Amino acid sequence: MNADLISPEPRALIVEDEILIAEELSERLSRLGFAVIAAVDTGEEGIAIATRERPDLVLMDIRLKGEKDGIQAAKDIRQQVDVPIVYVTAYSDRRTVDRAKGTEYDGYLLKPFHRRELESTIEVAMKRHAVRTKEKETAGGGTAEGPTSPS
Amino acid sequence: MDTARARAVLGRTPGLEYREKLGRPAAFCSLSSKQRLCLAIFLERRPMSTPTITPRLLEPFRSAKRQLYAIGIVSALAIGSLIVWPRLSERLLSTDFLPHRYCYLSNPALVWTHVTADLLIGIAYFAISITMAYLVYQGRRDLPFRGLLTAFGLFIIACGATHLVEVVTIWVPVYVLSAAVKVFTAIVSLVTAVVLPFTVPQTLALVQQAKTSAQVTAELRASEERKDALLQEVHHRVKNNLAVICSLFYLQSTHTKDKETVQIFRDMERRVHSMALVHESLSESENVGRIDFAEYASDLVHDILSSHGGPNVQVQLKTKLERVIMSVDSAVLCGLILNELISNALKHAFPDGAGGQVRVTLHSGPEGKCRLCVEDSGVGIPAALDFEASKSMGMRLVRSLTRQIRGSFELLKVDRGTTACLHFTVDRHER
């Protein structure tokens, strides 16, 4: 990973209802130099923590416990704070991808994933977010958002 | 293979991945045999067979041949009567009467109003009957009530003719002709009037049938959607569970420092991965339970490469895969074998970070005979290696799985590197 990703230690939030997968993600993120602030299994908790803590990265499963699924949670989070969101899901059917496309996110990772897929997806997501932040700054705090799909 | 190459360069970046998936045609799902059975039972309940719709009166004239005969007979009769009765035509066109305009006292306004109105009615009637004739002709296979429509058309032509003759009689008093046309109109009208009531129940039945068929279509669509959703759900669960298994392997591997043990878990994780990948191809497959192995293999090859590669391994991957449709079971087995062969090549063919090339080819021959080869340009297998006796887990897997798909396997040391080929046959019922 890039040096600018590692220092200062970026903070990540994991929203995933499969605890073992959450553990793996948490382990892998720590090895990538992230501080995992929490791993939760409902959309509601995810929204609460993401808006309160403003992490540098959110890994979001689509199927979750609780009322809200990952796509709704991502939408809610991005309405309030601009954080890079990466979907980590086993869903690859058209309907889900279409629904996800309706939200703003920075990466889509299919389960099961490889270490390198996770790394490159997170890297791309963080870069996209950085570019977006820079654009906003140069645009004088304008509200223009970049495209939602990685290009 | 541009996208494949692009992917090899970019790694599996997510954007590329789902865009590719979206590019493929949406999966078409056919009905299961059980659903077909249910539908058959449902249809049995409401008979769908088209009832005989031509009224009894017109029964003898149902076929086009007979209609031709009827027209021929009528014409023959007409011509015959003209010959038998030479003065008929003379009588028919007799003008020993006063033209109709005298009745109107030659009032131009009245005369022209009559002429215009009659002409317009006549033309309109003919136009309508032309449309009907076209309809009957175009729909001659499927159109119900053809006989009735023909009678209706004749009736309209006759009506039009009476109006046109009315125009003529204003100046030329051919009242006999006028009467003849009226008699013809009367007969045709009567026939139509008698036939029409008989068709009412059938018309109602047709309307009901159309409604039922719309209902069946809607139910069919709903059931297809349900099945689609269910299938997606199954794929999702399987993939999710396999992902959990991968997580288990990974977590366990973090508890050991022994490199060999870590490698074992990596290998296991990759094997589970190759099985999970089948479901990616399967959920996009048009044919339930069948997949295009080339598509799956292409995904798999890049997946394996991305799971192996460290930054220091400069291995180029080339694929040339022909389309082979096979069952999921066979695809999983072939996928596992392919996984071992490629992993083997990546692990052993290029020691010390040496670069090279791995070529994966899938050839589809006649009668379902297939050849799947992995060639590398590496150091080649040690002369002492005996594939049949090799005790490595990878080789053991290849041996067992080859036996399961009833194929054969050969491992060759070539000029530069190694070639491993799997020969197998896809059964006809699998294709």
Domains and CATH numbers, chain B: 2-27+254-430 (3.30.565.10), 56-216 (no CATH)
Per the model's pLDDT, the better-predicted residue between B41 and B407 turns out to be: B407
Contacts of B14 in chain A (CB under 8 A): 86, 107-110, 117, 121, 124, 150
In 3D space, the residue among B223, B161, B228, B210 whose CA is nearest the CA of residue B189 turns out to be B161
pTM for the whole thing? 0.62
What average pLDDT does this structure show over B212-221?
94
- Reported as a single tens digit per residue, the pLDDT across B333-365 is 999 999 999 988 888 888 877 788 889 999 999
A120 CA: distance to closest CA in chain B (Å): 7
In this complex, the residue of A92, A95, A116 whose CB is nearest that of residue B11 is A116
Query: Comparing A4-13, A55-64, B405-414, which segment has the lowest mean pLDDT?
Result: A4-13
Higher pLDDT, B313 or B337: B337
ipTM of the complex: 0.80
- In this predicted model, which residue has the larger pLDDT, B81 or B271? B271
- Say whether A90 and B243 touch across the interface (CB within 8 A): yes
DSSP state letters, chain A: --HHHHSS--EEEEE-S-HHHHHHHHHHHHHTT-EEEEEESBHHHHHHHHHHH--SEEEE-SS-BSSS-HHHHHHHHHHH----EEEEES--SHHHHHHHHTS--SEEEESS--HHHHHHHHHHHHHHHHHHHHHHHHTTS------SS--
Domain ranges of chain A: 3-138
| In chain B, residues 219-278 whose CB comes closer than 8 Å to chain A | 232, 235-236, 239-240, 242-248, 250-251, 254, 269, 272-273, 276
Indicate whether B310 pLDDT > 70: no
For B283, which residue in chain A has the nearest alpha carbon? A93
Q: Please tell me which of the candidates A23, A109, A114 has its beta carbon nearest to residue B306.
A: A114
- pLDDT tier at B35, thresholds 50, 70, 90: very low
**HEC profile of chain B:** CHHHHHHHHHCCCHHHHHHHHHHCCCCCCCCCHHHHHHHHHHHHHCCCCCCCCCCHHHHHHCCHHHHHHHHHHHHHHHHHHHHHCCHHHHHHCCCCCCCHHHCCCCCHHHHHHHHHHHHHHHHHHHHHHHHHHHHHHHCCCCCCCHHHHHHHHHHHHHHHHHHHHHHHHHHCCCHHHHHHHHHHHHHHHHHHHHHHHHHHHHHHHHHHHHHHHHHHHHHHHHHHHHHHHHHHHHHHHHHHHHHHHHHHHHHHHCCCCCHHHHHHHHHHHHHHHHHHHHHHHHHHCCCCCEEEHHHHHHHHHHHHHHHHCCCCCCEEEEEEECCCEEEHHHHHHHHHHHHHHHHHHHHHHCHHHCCEEEEEEEEECHHHEEEEEEEECCCCCCCCCCCCCCCCHHHHHHHHHHHHCCCEEEEEECCCCEEEEEEEECCHHHC
Asked if A111 and B11 come within 8 Å (Cβ–Cβ), the reply is: no
> What's the pLDDT band for B116 if we cut at 50, 70, 90?
very high
pLDDT of B413 = 80
Question: Which residue did the predictor score with more confidence, B340 or B7?
Answer: B340
Mean pLDDT of A16-21: 92
Class for domain A3-138, per CATH? alpha beta
pLDDT band at A150 (very low <50, low <70, confident <90, very high): very low
User: In which residue are the tokens 């959607």 written?
Assistant: B225
Query: Per-residue pLDDT for B311 more than 60?
Result: no
- The whole-angstrom distance between A141's CA and the closest CA on chain B is 27
Tell me the average pLDDT across B13-30.
38
Mean pLDDT across A13-23: 94
Q: Residue B363: is it exposed, middle or buried by C-beta count within 10 angstroms (0-12/13-18/19+)?
A: middle
pLDDT, chain B, mean: 80
Enter the tokens of residue B406: 């009833």
Mean pLDDT value of segment B366-375: 92
Backbone CA torsion sign across B214, B219, B222, B223:
negative
Residue B352 near chain A (CB below 8 Å):
no
